[in-house]
Chain A
C-alpha cells in the first residue's frame, strides 16, 4: 500500500505494487493537454495579442457589459429560485413517502440528460404568449417569453438538478438523533429545522448554488429560443460571442470569451473554497 515513506527524498509518486501509472497518467495528461489545455490557452494567448488598450475597450463596450449583466443577473436570480425550490424538492424526496416518488426522483435529472436546444424550444413554446402557461400569465399581465424573465425560466430548468443532487445525499445522511435531542430539549419543529438542520445543509446548498450559477452564466442552447435576444435587453453574453464570430470579429469574440472564462475560473475557485470551508467546519 501507499504507506508513508521515511525517506526524506522528494518524490512525485508514493511507491506501490500496482502497475500502469506511467501509461495511464501519461495518456491522461497528454489527452487533457491536447483536447482542453492547449485550445484554452490559445484563447488566452489570442487575447494577449490584442494589447491591454484594445482588450479593455472591447470588454467594456456597452453592448458587452449589458450582455454580461443580463447573463449574470438572470443566472443569479435563477440560482436563488432553485436554492429555495430545490431544497423543498430534496426535502420532500428524502423525508416523505408519496405515490410516484421514484419517478419524480428520476425526472429531477432530466435537465442533465435533455439536450439544451430541445429544452429551449419546449420552454419557448410553453411560455410564449400563445403557449399553455404563457397565455395564463399574459392574462395576469406577465410577459415571460422574449423578456429577461424567459431567460430566468430557462436557467431555472437547467440549474435545478445541481441544488437537488447536492442537498439530497447530505440530507439523507443527517443523523436523526440530533433532531431527537433538540426535540427532547423542547425545541419546536420550526426551530429544529431552522436552527439545527439548515446550518448543516448550508455548505451543500451553497455548493449547488455556485454550480447552478456557473452553469447559468455560460448557458446558451436553452436560453436563446425563449430570450427573444434583443440587444441591451435580453441578449446573453454567450450569444454575443456567437454574433461576433458570425461577423468575423474574432477580436471582440475573444475579449468577451476571456471575460467569461475569468468568471468561470472565479466560480470554480468559489466552489472549492466553499467545500474546503465546509470540510474544516463540519469535518469531511
Chain B
C-alpha cells in the first residue's frame, strides 16, 4: 500500500484505539444510566427470595393495583388507537388547510408536563369547577375515582398511535386505495383489506408504546387519583406508597412486573424492526 492510500484510509475512519475508546465511553455511560438501574430493580425485587417476591405480588392491595392498571389500559389504549387510525387517515390520505397545525396539536401532550395533564382535569372536575359538583349531584364521580384516572391516561398517551401511523401512511401514498376503489371496493372494504395490512406493524408498534405508557403513567395519574389504597391506586402509585413506607422489597417486586412489560415492549419493537429490515 502506498503512503497516500494509508493516509486516506486513516482519514476515513478513526484509528482502532480511538474506536475502542469511543465504544468504551458509550457502553460505560449506558451501563451507569440504563443497565445498572435494570439490574438494581431485579436484585432488589428478589433480595428476600422468590417467595417474598410472590407474596408482594399477591398481596390484596397489589392485586387491586394490577387490576386497575389493566382496566385503565384496556379502556384508554383502544380509544387512542381508534383516534390514531382516524387522524392518520385524514392527515395522510388527504390534502387540507391547517394540516401542519393539526399535527402540532396532536403532538401537544408530549410537550406538556404529566403533572399539568392531571392538573387540567382537577380544574375541570374539582370542587371549585362548574362540572364537578353538577356531575356529583347525579352521583357521578370523576376526580379521585377511576374515570379521572382513565381521562388523565388518555391525555398522556394520546399521540402515540397517531405519531407512529402518520409517517407510515404518508409513505404508502394513496395509489393502493385508489386501485381498490376503482375495482369497486367500498370505503370500509378498502380500509379493511388494503390499508390495514399495509400499516399493521406500525399500528402494532404504536399500540405497544401507548400501552407501555398507559400502564406506567405516574405523574398525571398521581394528581387525579386521590391515592385510595386498594381502590384508586394503579401499579406505579402502589410502588410509590410501598417505597415511601420503606417497604423496598415489595416496591421493587411490583416494579419488576413493569420492567418486564417494558422489556417485552422493547423485544417486540426490535422484532418488528428486524422484520421490516428484510
Contact = CB atoms under 8 A, between A and B. Distances in A.
Interface string A253-274: 1100100110011011000100
A115 B22 CA distance: 30
9 contacts: A16-B95, A31-B83, A43-B120, A107-B35, A112-B212, A117-B255, A118-B262, A220-B219, A238-B219
A36 B216 CA distance: 20
B94 A18 contact: yes
Contacts of A232: none
A108 B259 CA distance: 14
Contact of A2 (B95, B151, B216): B95
B57 to A, nearest CB: 15
B113 A126 contact: no
B125 to A, nearest CB: 9
A109 interface: yes
Contacts of B218: 115-117, 220-221
Given A21-B90, A238-B115, A98 B11 contact: no
Contacts of A220: 113-115, 218-219, 222
Contacts of A31: 79, 83, 86
Interface in B205-224: 209, 212, 215-219, 222-223
A156 B33 contact: yes
A259 B122 CA distance: 17
Interface of B: 8, 10-15, 19, 22-23, 25-27, 29-30, 32-38, 40-41, 44, 79, 82-83, 85-87, 89-90, 93-97, 102, 104-116, 119-124, 126, 128-129, 151, 154-155, 158, 174, 177-178, 181-182, 187, 190-191, 209, 212, 215-219, 222-223, 235-237, 239-240, 243, 248, 251-252, 255, 258-259, 261-263, 265-267, 269-270
Contacts of B35: 107
Contacts of A13: 94-97
Q: Could you tell me the dominant secondary structure of chain A's interface residues?
A: helix
Interface string A204-235: 00000000001101111100010000000000
